[in-house]
Amino acid sequence: MVLAFFGLTPEYRSNIFTQIHEILFYGKGGYDYETVYNMPLWLRRFTYRKIQEFYENKNEKVDTVEQSIKNMKSVGAVSNNKIQPPTYITKASKK
């Protein structure tokens, strides 16, 4: 079906409102609805990309930390979320 007048498609409207919602939600109270809705497109897209980059970087860092913990557990350095001292430590001789 072809639109007989100029207007936004339902898919485009959904994308706009999703973008606005994510800026509001992940902006953690730094923005209100009217401010984001009335932002110029270039500024809203810039803000959205910056928030998206922030959370992608944060997730990558969390993944690398989790992977390093997993590697330490496989080596035996971590047990029950506590770091275990090496077993080769002995008392020094008294001389």
Per-residue pLDDT tens for 7-25? 788 898 899 999 999 999 9
User: Does the residue 1 lie in any domain?
Assistant: no
- By residue range, what is the domain housing residue 65? 10-83
Residue 21 lies inside a defined structural domain of this protein: yes
Q: Number of structural domains, the chain?
A: 1
Q: Is residue 60 part of a domain?
A: yes
| Domain contains 66 | yes
For residues 59 and 95, which has the higher predicted lDDT (pLDDT)?
59
Q: Buried b / exposed e across 43-54, counting CB within 10 Å, b at 16+?
A: ebeebbeebeee
Q: Give domain status of residue 16, yes or no.
A: yes
Of 38 and 6, more confident:
38
Whether residue 33 is contained in a domain is answered as yes
Query: Exposed, middle or buried by CB within 10 Å (0-12, 13-18, 19+), for 36?
Result: buried
In a domain, residue 94? The reply is: no
Residue 7: its pLDDT value, please? 78
Judge whether 24 lies within some domain.
yes
Overall average pLDDT of the 34-56 stretch: 94
pLDDT at res. 4: 65
Q: The pTM is what?
A: 0.62
Distances (CA, A) of 80 to 15, 51, 61, 75, 85: 44, 35, 22, 13, 13
